[in-house]
Structure 1
């Protein structure tokens, strides 16, 4: 017999958990935060600019992730009337609302890295 959940049983908690699940689904994957962070800092960038800025990402993955982010209204895509055709990507106004989250995630990562690195130095 399965035990009844103690924490996730309230309606408020269920809504919160559903919202967290939605956000995790939307932002999942290795590259989405890199892309969003780069566009927040760089404003409008071409595909090749993004490819150069994001170390380690491949063209197929960048294309796929940009499509996902565009579909979810976090990134906009503008095709320029040039020869050859140029595509520019920028963060949407809604995508910019992720800026504080990305900033806090970066701060947390720096603190974590310093904490772990400091411990390793003392152990050596």
Structure 2
């Protein structure tokens, strides 16, 4: 009985994903057909989570039952989404939640050396 309780307590965090801007976007965007709906979804999620992605730790969605990568998540979540903007936003949210490291920013190459 004690082993069962310990196992349940260790796996519980894998089921409970923190509610944040990225998960809000992933709840709202899949299947969206037009860009106006994307803007509305972003407005709703921004209202709930004004810090947007800055409050979502990189890789926060990784766990026992999560996706293995941002690409795997994006493929699954954007499969039936006709809006290119929605598909892009889904990819951003998936990358934030499921990639271990942040994707390099294109403009970083133009920063002066430190």
Q: Which has the higher strand share?
A: 1
Higher relative contact order (CA 8 A, sep 6+): 2
Q: Answer yes or no: same fold by TM over 0.5.
A: no
TM-score per shorter chain, which class?
A: 0.3 to 0.5
